[in-house]
Amino acid sequence: MTIRKGFLGLLLSLCVSQIAAQQAATDTICITQSTSHFAVSHQAGMHYLWNVQGGVIVSKTDSSDITVQWNQVPGFYKVGLTIVNQYNCPSDTSEIMIFIGGGININGPIQVCKGSLVTLEVNQALRHKWQGGKNDPTISFTAQNDTSLFAVGINNPCANDTVFHTVEVVDPPTTSMSKLEDTIQLNSSVRLFYLGQAAQTVLWFVNGVPQASGREMLRQFKTTGTFEVCQVVMDGTCSDSLCKTVVVVDEFKVFIPNVFSPNGDGINDVFLFKGIGIRNYNAVIYDRWGAQIYQWDNNRELEGWDGFYRGEPAQVEAYIYKIEVWDNKGKKHDFTSSFSLIR
């Protein structure tokens, strides 16, 4: 009787007497594909009883030729055949050993960011060796440059199987955020920009909450506290992030000068008060007899008094200011005092 392994083109001939004499030295067939075809010469009136380990017969099971779908679990398996005649008596029996091995694969990334930890794994349970001799299931390394390595599946008694794997290393984009003050006033609006060139995507976060995507972010801070502002840049494979901390405070301070000199030298030429935590204000200047000289508020384009009255330079003397200021909580503060005009 002859069993032919169709896909490998292997022909195995075993007669009854040979099997009886060589059963312990059964030949081994190496399987490297998912299906195989086995066949013997057809004899009329005979029944064919196949016994397949490690796979499933996906064709007619009592035929003289069959197709087997293998389970792809590495190991040694038997394929046996008993031919029964019309009297239900076994007339011939044969057996071959199947080795499912080879087909070793390396599973892992093919492109990573520079500096990333790369882990590669082989997919077979039989013996193997990595380039360099290690036989661990996985290997790991830090990616600094393009790396190509191989693993060898040790498939005795079949030929060893070698597979190569290349990991391409790409440079990540670099974050670049415009200046952000460490401390800002409540209700301040902050506009930040990405100053780099390499990133395909730029994302902005405040305390982990998405704020914007694109090269800029505008954010008004309406509550006090500490906030972490983060910029995340990506190029499809790699990413980089940069975070800065800003403290939002609700201080209220007002500074009002007691002298100014509108003489055109560019130094202290305008009577102007400054402060933090100011929401609105209104300022009025009077002369010493109580006549209103000048007025401005936060809706005016120009702030402060330039020392002129009705188109003429004001007299060198003392003047009185009355300034009303509303803080960020809406509380009103009144300031009244005198200051001097000198030239």
What is the per-residue DSSP string for 145-169?
S-EEEEEEE--TTSPPEEEEEEEEE
- Provide the β-strand partners of residue 57: 68
pTM for this prediction: 0.48
User: Token pair of 57, please?
Assistant: 């017969």
Tokens 């007339």 map to which residue?
A: 91
Structural domain harbouring 193: 183-249
C-alpha 181/C-alpha 249 separation (Å) is 12
C-alpha 135/C-alpha 328 separation (Å) is 68
Tokens 């030239």 map to which residue?
A: 343
Maximal CA-CA distance, the chain: 139
Question: How would you class 209 by CB atoms within 10 Å of its CB: exposed for 0-12, middle for 13-18, buried for 19 or more?
Answer: exposed
Closest alpha carbon to 51 in 12, 14, 3: 3
In this structure, the answer to whether residues 228 and 274 fall within a common structural domain is no
Q: Residues 6 or more apart from 25 whose CB is under 8 A from it? A: none
C-alpha 332/C-alpha 160 separation (Å) is 87
In this structure, the answer to whether residues 94 and 8 fall within a common structural domain is yes
How many domains is the chain partitioned into structurally?
4
In this structure, the answer to whether residues 122 and 163 fall within a common structural domain is yes
C-alpha 135/C-alpha 32 separation (Å) is 22
The CATH number given to whatever domain includes residue 272 is: 2.60.40.1220
pLDDT lower than 70: segments of the chain: 1-27, 101-103, 124-126
In this structure, the answer to whether residues 86 and 64 fall within a common structural domain is yes
Tokens 């197709």 map to which residue?
A: 67
* Residue 177 forms part of a structural domain: no
User: Token pair of 118, please?
Assistant: 């790369």
Q: Strand 2-5 and strand 161-170: pairing?
A: unpaired
Backbone phi, psi, residue 25, to 5°? -115, 40
In this structure, the answer to whether residues 82 and 116 fall within a common structural domain is no
Q: Which pLDDT value is given to residue 297?
A: 95
pLDDT in tens, 58-81: 999 999 999 999 887 778 899 999
Cβ atoms of 130 and 74 within 8 Å: the answer is no
In this structure, the answer to whether residues 229 and 201 fall within a common structural domain is yes
Q: Which pLDDT value is given to residue 101?
A: 66
Closest alpha carbon to 190 in 169, 170, 220: 220
CB atoms within 10 A of CB 270: 13
The CATH number given to whatever domain includes residue 244 is: 2.60.40.10
